[in-house]
């Protein structure tokens, strides 16, 4: 426990985001009523810090290799997709048209492909926003 008490968010476990259908504004569910979800780690988790450290190291190496000491900036959307893919822990994906499970293994590569797919920005923004929202990782007891 930190000497700062419960000020810190609990970033030791991922947060499960139920996927909301943008058409109905309701959770997407399978035929048995189980909601589709994506579990993501916090942007302040050790996993995120390691990922960001590796990206900074990569940038530093690119700068050192360039003749001028300058490198082209990364595309912000691609960077955010890579971050979200690295923070994606697991998922249960459901086709909203058929209500069937989409049986694709949850890997960083598959997550990046999912989040990059044209027409799926609506889905990407849900786990990406949840990973950065510290309220999702705060543990507060009920008030007396």
DSSP single-letter state for residue 137: G
pLDDT cut 90: percent of the chain above it? 68
Are the beta carbons of 21 and 95 closer than 8 angstroms?
no
Summarize pLDDT for 90-107 with one digit per residue, the tens.
999 999 999 999 999 999
pTM, two decimal places: 0.85
Q: What pLDDT was estimated at residue 59?
A: 76
- Separation between Cα atoms, residue 8 and residue 134, nearest integer Å: 9
Are the beta carbons of 16 and 10 closer than 8 angstroms?
no
Q: How many other C-beta atoms lie within 10 A of the C-beta of residue 74?
A: 14
Q: What pLDDT was estimated at residue 75?
A: 78
Q: Give the residues of the chain that fall short of pLDDT 70.
A: 1, 69, 73, 140-144
> 58 — phi, psi (to 5°)?
-60, -45
Q: What pLDDT was estimated at residue 109?
A: 97
Q: What pLDDT was estimated at residue 14?
A: 97
Q: What pLDDT was estimated at residue 144?
A: 54
DSSP single-letter state for residue 5: G
């Amino acid at each position: 426990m930190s000497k700062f008490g419960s000020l810190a968010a609990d970033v030791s476990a991922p947060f499960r985001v139920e996927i909301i259908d943008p058409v109905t504004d309701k959770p997407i569910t399978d035929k048995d009523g189980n909601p589709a979800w994506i579990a993501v780690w916090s942007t302040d988790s050790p996993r995120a810090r390691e990922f960001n450290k590796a990206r900074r190291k990569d940038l530093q190496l690119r700068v050192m290799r360039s003749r001028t000491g300058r490198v082209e900036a990364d595309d912000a959307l691609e960077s955010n997709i890579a971050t979200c893919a690295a923070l994606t822990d697991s998922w249960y994906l459901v086709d909203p048209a058929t209500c069937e499970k989409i049986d694709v293994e949850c890997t960083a590569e598959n997550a990046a492909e999912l989040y990059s797919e044209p027409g799926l920005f609506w889905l990407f923004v849900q786990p990406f926003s949840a990973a950065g929202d510290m309220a999702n990782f705060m543990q507060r007891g009920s008030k007396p």
